[in-house]
């Protein structure tokens, strides 16, 4: 993905409006291009400022009831869906303050596990695009400085070959709005992607395991970094891997 094309698609990227493959290539360009990264950060800062600073006007109960009674009774649109705000007819909603309040409420209801969806997608694409690593080597003393030189962070990088989790290499990635280190391991035939990026929250947090689309995901915070391990290995094996990294 070249620079001009990426630049044009940055707003769509920030809004998660791009398809998975395009998103992958955009993310790869952004991770390497300071100019696109800076522009994306401005867009994201603007969006989040709008979300947090715009006043929310609550609809008076009478108006809320009128809107509710105007909606089709058989199939009320679920409030959690983003398309909700496009689902109203002009007659019910046109220009009312209630419309503003509802739109904001729905915009705020981003699923809390958007980051999990993002890392699972990154994990899948890292294997699909035949670009698992930028620096393919099992030498931790090569991978770690390579990543540190390109990202302002120094994650745990260690070859756990004796424990059955050999280091395969490292890669620059872009996860949920953060430039991230992707440290790649194998467990038998399975790939484990370990993402690390700067935490917004500096406190440590114990590992939390969840599953999505057949993949296991474990995330935790340590030393100012958020770590997310993703793989299709069994949860117990992924947790054993996480314990190695934690003690590494």
Identity of the residue, 3 or 108, whose beta carbon is nearer to Zn ion in the bound complex = 3
238: alpha, beta or left? (left if phi > 0; alpha if psi -120 to 50): alpha
Identity of the residue, 3 or 82, whose beta carbon is nearer to Zn ion in the bound complex = 3
The tokens describing 55, both together, are 């006043």
Binding part of the chain for Zn ion, among 2-10, 103-111, 113-121, 152-160 by CB under 5 A, reads 2-10
The tokens describing 214, both together, are 């057949």
Using rule CB under 5 A, residue 36 touches Zn ion: yes
**Distances in Å between the alpha carbon of 83 and those of 24, 140, 163, 186?**
24, 46, 47, 39
Q: Which residues contact 170 (CB under 8 A, 6 or more apart)?
A: 133, 134, 135, 143, 144, 146, 147, 157, 181, 182, 183, 184
Q: What is the DSSP letter of 176?
A: T
Contact 182, 173 (CB under 8 A): yes
Which of 1, 12, 33, 244 forms a contact with Zn ion (CB under 5 A)?
A: 33
Binding part of the chain for Zn ion, among 11-19, 26-34, 52-60, 70-78 by CB under 5 A, reads 26-34
Using rule CB under 5 A, residue 37 touches Zn ion: no
Min CB(133)–Zn ion separation in Å: 22
Q: Which helix or strand (DSSP H or E) is residue 141 part of? A: helix 140-150
Separation CA 122–CA 179 (nearest Å) = 13
**Distances in Å between the alpha carbon of 101 and those of 52, 137, 173?**
13, 52, 36
Contact characters 44-63, Zn ion, x per CB under 5 A = --------------------
Min CB(246)–Zn ion separation in Å: 36
Alpha-carbon Rg for the chain, nearest whole angstrom, is 21
Min CB(9)–Zn ion separation in Å: 11
Identity of the residue, 44 or 154, whose beta carbon is nearer to Zn ion in the bound complex = 44
Identity of the residue, 10 or 175, whose beta carbon is nearer to Zn ion in the bound complex = 10
Identity of the residue, 27 or 170, whose beta carbon is nearer to Zn ion in the bound complex = 27
Using rule CB under 5 A, residue 43 touches Zn ion: no
Min CB(2)–Zn ion separation in Å: 8
Min CB(87)–Zn ion separation in Å: 36
Min CB(173)–Zn ion separation in Å: 16
Using rule CB under 5 A, residue 3 touches Zn ion: yes
Which residue number has the CB closest to Zn ion? 33
- Binding-site ranges for Zn ion (CB under 5 A): 3, 6, 33, 36
């Amino acid at each position: 993905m070249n620079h001009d094309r990426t630049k044009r698609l940055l707003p769509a990227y920030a809004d998660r409006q791009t398809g998975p493959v395009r998103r992958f290539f955009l993310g790869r360009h952004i991770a390497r291009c300071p100019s696109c990264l800076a522009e994306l950060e401005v867009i994201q800062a603007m969006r989040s400022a709008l979300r947090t600073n715009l006043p929310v006007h609550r609809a008076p109960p009478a108006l809320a009831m009128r809107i509710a009674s105007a909606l089709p009774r058989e199939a009320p649109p679920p409030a959690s869906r983003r398309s909700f705000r496009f689902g109203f007819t002009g007659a019910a909603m046109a220009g009312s303050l209630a419309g503003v309040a509802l739109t904001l409420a729905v915009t705020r209801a981003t699923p809390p596990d958007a980051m999990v969806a993002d890392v699972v997608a990154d994990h899948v694409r890292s294997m699909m695009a035949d670009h698992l690593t930028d620096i393919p080597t099992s030498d931790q003393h090569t991978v770690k400085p390579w990543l540190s030189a390109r990202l302002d962070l120094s994650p745990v990088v260690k070859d756990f070959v004796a424990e059955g989790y050999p280091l395969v290499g490292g890669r620059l990635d872009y996860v949920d709005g953060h430039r991230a280190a992707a440290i790649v391991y194998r467990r038998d035939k399975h790939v484990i992607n370990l993402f690390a990026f700067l935490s917004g929250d500096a406190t440590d947090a114990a590992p939390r395991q969840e599953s999505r689309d057949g993949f296991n995901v474990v995330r935790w915070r340590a030393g100012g970094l958020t770590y997310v391990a993703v793989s299709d290995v069994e949860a117990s094996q992924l947790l054993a891997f996480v314990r190695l990294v934690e003690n590494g």
